[in-house]
Every structure is written in structure tokens, then in C-alpha cells.
Structure 1
């Protein structure tokens, strides 16, 4: 958070400088944006190189654990269950919601039925959350 707060004045100055450059010229803002993107690419490459060249990281052993391992497979399964069910629910709600709005625009009395279908699609995420809670409880 401190890094973002320190970078905020530089970001504001960059936006103001870009706005001032764009006022009367056409090609200069594009060149400015390309230079900023190139600088960000170089900074990202430096950060990636530092991350890759670092040593092996090891987590501290949890309190009360003799071997310090824990049941990582159950936690990974919980994460996959929540992520997969949330993505599936988002796709299902997108399609059913669009179809429900199209149907309600023609016949407004279909509101109740349409919302039930959208709610059933949202239930997929709830099932994934329940599976994750069960897996975390056994970890």
C-alpha cells in the first residue's frame, strides 16, 4: 500500500503531462504512450528477473504441526472448487440473464420464472463454496 501511495504523485504527473501533450498535437501523445509502455515493459522484465533469480522460498511451519506440512491437497481442492464453480456460475448467469432480459422485454409477466432460472444458475457457485468448506474442515 505504501508503494502505491508513493507512486500516486508520479502517476498524477504522468496523466497531467499526457493531457498537456495531447492538447494540440496528434502524434506526440502516441509516442508518449509508447514510451510509457516501453518503460513499463522494462520494469516488468526487471521484476520478473528478480523474482526468478531469487532463492527457494520456504513457508514457516504452522503452529501445532509436528511436520509442518498440513494437508495442502485439500486446500488446493477447495481453491479449485471455488474458482471453477464461480467461473461456471458466471458463464451460466451471463447466458441465462441475457435470455431472461430478452424474454422479459417481450413479456413482462415472465419476471418470476426468469429470476428462478438465473437463481438456479447462481446455485452452482454456492455448491462449490459448500464443497470448499467441507474440504477445509477436513484439512
Structure 2
């Protein structure tokens, strides 16, 4: 029950900020970076664990494991670019 009250208070504060300052684009930029970073972190965690497991079995294909990690990390860079486009 406390979690819902805290979430409602945060959402109310964000909505008030957006209405009084015209900060919709800043909220959108923050969400873009935050959610992209969260998604990239989850992706890198899963891909990294799988890559380490696969590296034990087939070490000669380690470049492919790095490519998969780089693809997951690129999601965070896309979020950063979108946030810059929103703010500027």
C-alpha cells in the first residue's frame, strides 16, 4: 500500500512540474535514457552470462560473443541519442 502512495506522489510531482515549467520534453528525455539503460543492462546481463557459458565450450568463437554484447549495449546509446533529440 505504501508503494502505491509513493508512486502516486511521484507521478503527481512529475505532472505538476511538467505543467508549470513546460518540462514534458525533459521528462521524456529522462524516461528515454532511464528505460534504455535499464533494457541495456538486462540485455547485457543475460547475454554476458550466456557468453561466458558458451566461451567455456567453444572459445574459438569469442568474437561472436562480443558482437552480441555490443548489440545489447547499443540500446543504451540509442536511448541517449533520442534524449538529446528531445532536449535540443
Provide TM-score, normalisation by structure 1: 0.48
Bigger Rg over Cα = 1
Task: Indicate the residue corresponding to 2:27 in structure 1.
Answer: 76
Greater helix fraction, Structure 1 or Structure 2: 2
Task: Indicate the residue corresponding to 1:134 in structure 2.
Answer: 85
Task: Indicate the residue corresponding to 2:65 in structure 1.
Answer: 114
CA distance in 1, matches of 2:62, 2:74: 18
What SS class does the counterpart of residue 86 from structure 2 fall into? helix
* Equivalence map 1:18-97=2 (5 Å): 69=21, 71-97=22-48
Matched residue pairs, number?
Answer: 70
Residue 94 (structure 1) shift: 0.3
Provide TM-score, normalisation by structure 2: 0.75
What runs of 5+ residues in structure 1 fail to find an aligned partner? 1-67
CA distance in 2, matches of 1:118, 1:132: 22
Residue 110 (structure 1) shift: 1.5
Q: Write out the 4+ residue segments of structure 1 that deviate beyond 2 Å after TM superposition.
A: none
What runs of 5+ residues in structure 2 fail to find an aligned partner? 1-19
